[in-house]
Amino acid sequence: MFFIIEMVKIYSLEKKFVKFEKEAKKVVKDILDFLLVEKADLEVFFVSDQEIKKINWKYRKKEKPTNILSFSPPHDFPEHYLKENIGEVYLAPDFILKEGGSIKKLLAHGILHLLGFDHKKKEEAKKMEKKEEEIVVALGF
């Protein structure tokens, strides 16, 4: 028998972000379904601009806030866990909304990163942008 494991955990590190949790959980599940991801556990964190700035500095050596950061699980996770956990996404709602961005679109962006998409090279960026656009159109973001 085959079981689909799809556990999405949403954490708001500030009370004012709790209002985003329910919709974010649905959006993440819709994105995973659209991408035909059969097994996935992931965590989404809503954090302040200050907190994402700290994370951005610690892991990317960039001393400024950003809208989103995605982290794949480390390669030394036990094998049974690694197959299900695709990683963590950190979003800064205040920064996103101040910049006129969309939490839904950025969730798609972050999940694509966790699934191996990237935009460091021009060709990779085109593939990622195309897939993001497919998600946005299909799911009405």
CATH-assigned architecture of domain 5-139: 3-Layer(aba) Sandwich (3.40)
> Which tens digit of pLDDT belongs to each residue from 56-104?
999 999 999 999 999 987 655 555 444 567 889 999 999 999 999 999 9
Average pLDDT, the chain: 88
* Residue-level pLDDT at 75: 55
Query: What are the CA-CA distances from residue 96 to residues 41, 73, 85, 122 (Å)?
Result: 24, 24, 26, 24
Give me the mean pLDDT over the 103-118 stretch: 94
* Residue-level pLDDT at 86: 84
Question: Per-domain residue ranges for the chain?
Answer: 5-139
Indicate the pTM of the whole model.
0.87
